[in-house]
Structure 1
Amino acid sequence: MKAVAIRTFGAPEGLAVIDLPVPAPEAGQVLIATEAAGVGGVDAVIRRGTLAGHGFPEGYVPGAEVAGTVTAVGPGVDPAWTGRRVWGFTGGVTGGGYAEYAVAAAEELVALPEGLSAVDAVGLGNSGMTAHFALRRARFTPGETVLIRGAAGSIGIPAVQLAARGGAAAVAVTTSSAERGERLRRLGATHVLDRSGEGGQDAPDEYDVIIDVVAGEAMPAFLGRLAADGRMVAVGVVGGPPPADLGAALMATFRKSPTLAAFSADTVPPADRQAVRNEQFAAAARGTFQTVVHEVLPLDEAVTAHRKLDTGEVFGRIALTP
């Protein structure tokens, strides 16, 4: 089968199309004929080598989620999954989504509802679920003000919708252009800020909740935007790791009792992840929850997809199709 692997860490050009044997599903796994694979910010972080010491070596096939048809099941898996169109999680250290076939754990499968395409499924599957639990980790309640940093990405877009639906008093977003800001307003944003957190007519000075997908050198400045008893939850490092003095920035606001937390969906029980995905997929199929796919590219153009990620031009998610 055709797959895309990280030949060398660094620039997108380090990705290469290779031939690999079709994997065989092991116990508790299924084999999926890929119709669409999601391209996310974590894929770029892995490709750059940021996580090289954490089980992501050169030769790794990226891609944390695919949608397609189950063609085989491993021992212990209900054979009724065979032939069904599903979304499947292929992330973790195994990876493998950027390929014509991928294995996924049966406990991470979601049957695709009628009316939801494979492309839309990978635009929502991991990102919508992560946004849901990030807001829960932040203990968000109706009437609070929310700032979503990096709102035009695949996690930020569902976070905007969820915060607005959840009764936020304000949903401020950081993004790179007025055009993106208007698109985010249509999804529920009430205030549009630039990447530094400035601008936005009548925007709050402080926020009860900040969801940060970016991190990077500017993270301490956003930590300073928390209101008393405010909570910041970091769900990504697409802008690179925060500076070493982040702890000092936290202590500088000591008298406001701020909370800084990191969140990974890995700590959420699989059954809870699946319940949220099922709910969000059903809402997307009904048209009551919006998926945003920036572009669909063939698998051979994974380098192009990652170039777009690196330049920050992606609004939503890119999907690759074999």
Structure 2
Amino acid sequence: MRAVAVQTFGAPDGMAMVDVPAPEPGPGQVTIAVEAIGVGGVDAMIRRGTLSGYGFGSGHILGSEVAGTVTAVGVDVEPSWIGERVWAFTGTGGGYAEQAVAAVDHLERIPAGLTNETAVALGSSGAVAHFALQHAHFAPGESVLIRGAAGSIGLLAVQLARTASAIAVTTSSPDRGRRLRELGATHVLDRSGTGDGPATYDVILDVIAGPDLPSFLPKLSPNGRLVVLGAVAGPLPAGLTDQLMQSFQKSLSLATFSLDTIPVPARALVRRDQFAAAARGELDAVVHDVLGLDEAAKAHEQMDAGQVFGRIVLKP
């Protein structure tokens, strides 16, 4: 089968189309004929070689979420899965391919009225946004600032935080600001955090991290919580502890969040509810563009250039 693998870590042109054996389902797994692939920020971090602690080698196939039809099951999996249209989490790779395997516990049936493309734009990002707000102890009526709101996680966080007294977003253009207001944002700031929003916020969700993160700590209200969901601009800089101590009387909190800490059944329940809401038109998972699998490098170039609003989807 065809798949896209990282031959050289770094720039997007280090990815290449390769021919590899089709995967066979092991115990507790299914094989999926892939029809849509979500392109996420973690894919870009793996491709760049900046995601530490995993030791990916040359030939690694990117992609953590796919949608398609189950074609085979492992010996201990119910045969009734065969023929089902599903969303699946494939782990740290294996999704940029014509076929993929996934654990049966990481499948979700896609309801009628929801496209495969929407499923992979929503499946992981919606759950991250939901549980990140929960991790931040967000309560209705509080104010929220979302840094990196034009990505798939940020877009869904805007919609899920609609009970906030104010939802501010950072973005790079007036057009993006307009589109974010349509989804529920009440204030639009530039990427430095300057704009028409409140002076401080109860919660800040940050998908960006990188060297500019410290400039957002003063934007927290007393008892404010900043939760880092991603690091597309690089790791957290040194000196954050000192800055928190300088604001000791404000009782600020800085935390990281990974969906890996949420039990799989809890993720599945939220994902099922969000899929149903999207099918009813109550939740908008924005698909930026649909490209062919052989255009994976183009998708990554657009992400690196900050040109994506929502999520790019690949189709084999």
TM over 0.5: same fold?
yes
Task: State the alpha-carbon separation in 1 of the partners of residues 276 and 140 from structure 2.
Answer: 24
Alignment match, 2:247: 253
Alignment match, 2:194: 198
Matches within 5 A, 1:13-32: 13-32=13-32
Task: State the alpha-carbon separation in 1 of the partners of residues 248 and 220 from structure 2.
Answer: 11
Task: State the alpha-carbon separation in 2 of the partners of residues 21 and 309 from structure 1.
Answer: 29
Q: Answer whether contact 1:144 1:209 (CA < 8 A) is retained.
A: yes
| CA apart distance, 1:244 | 1.4
Q: Answer whether contact 1:64 1:96 (CA < 8 A) is retained.
A: yes
Alignment partner of 2:176 out of 174, 177, 180: 180
Give secondary structure in 2 for the equivalent of 1:242. coil
Identity of aligned residues (%): 62
| CA apart distance, 1:53 | 4.0
Amino acid at match of 1:171: I
Give secondary structure in 1 for the equivalent of 2:46. helix
Structure 1: segments with no counterpart, 5+ residues: none
Alignment TM-score, normalising by the size of structure 1: 0.97
Q: Answer whether contact 1:69 1:84 (CA < 8 A) is retained.
A: yes
Task: State the alpha-carbon separation in 2 of the partners of residues 7 and 78 from structure 1.
Answer: 37
Give secondary structure in 2 for the equivalent of 1:38. strand
Q: How many residues align?
A: 316
Q: Answer whether contact 1:148 1:172 (CA < 8 A) is retained.
A: yes
| CA apart distance, 1:254 | 1.5
1:92-119 CA deviation, whole Å, 9 max, x = no partner? 3xx1000000111100111010011110
Q: Answer whether contact 1:220 1:250 (CA < 8 A) is retained.
A: no
Alignment match, 1:48: 48
Task: State the alpha-carbon separation in 2 of the partners of residues 311 and 292 from structure 1.
Answer: 18
| CA apart distance, 1:9 | 0.7
Alignment match, 2:68: 68
Matches within 5 A, 1:188-227: 188-200=184-196, 203-227=197-221
Aligned alpha-carbon RMSD (Å) = 0.8
Amino acid at match of 2:180: L
| CA apart distance, 1:301 | 0.4
Matches within 5 A, 1:234-253: 234-253=228-247
Alignment match, 1:143: 141
Task: State the alpha-carbon separation in 2 of the partners of residues 152 and 87 from structure 1.
Answer: 23
Task: State the alpha-carbon separation in 2 of the partners of residues 141 and 91 from structure 1.
Answer: 31
Q: Answer whether contact 1:120 1:291 (CA < 8 A) is retained.
A: yes
Alignment partner of 1:263 out of 250, 257, 263: 257
Task: State the alpha-carbon separation in 1 of the partners of residues 55 and 157 from structure 2.
Answer: 29
Structure 2: segments with no counterpart, 5+ residues: none
Amino acid at match of 1:291: A
1:113-135 CA deviation, whole Å, 9 max, x = no partner? 00111101001000001000000
Give secondary structure in 1 for the equivalent of 2:203. strand
Alignment match, 1:98: 96
Amino acid at match of 2:249: R
Task: State the alpha-carbon separation in 2 of the partners of residues 18 and 100 from structure 1.
Answer: 11
Task: State the alpha-carbon separation in 2 of the partners of residues 214 and 249 from structure 1.
Answer: 19
Give secondary structure in 1 for the equivalent of 2:152. coil
Amino acid at match of 2:112: E
Change in Cα spacing, 1:264 to 1:52, as seen in structure 2 (3 Å) is closer
Amino acid at match of 2:122: L
Alignment match, 2:127: 129
Task: State the alpha-carbon separation in 1 of the partners of residues 52 and 201 from structure 2.
Answer: 35
Alignment TM-score, normalising by the size of structure 2: 0.99
1:132-176 CA deviation, whole Å, 9 max, x = no partner? 000000000011000000000010000000001xx1000000010
Alignment match, 2:161: 163
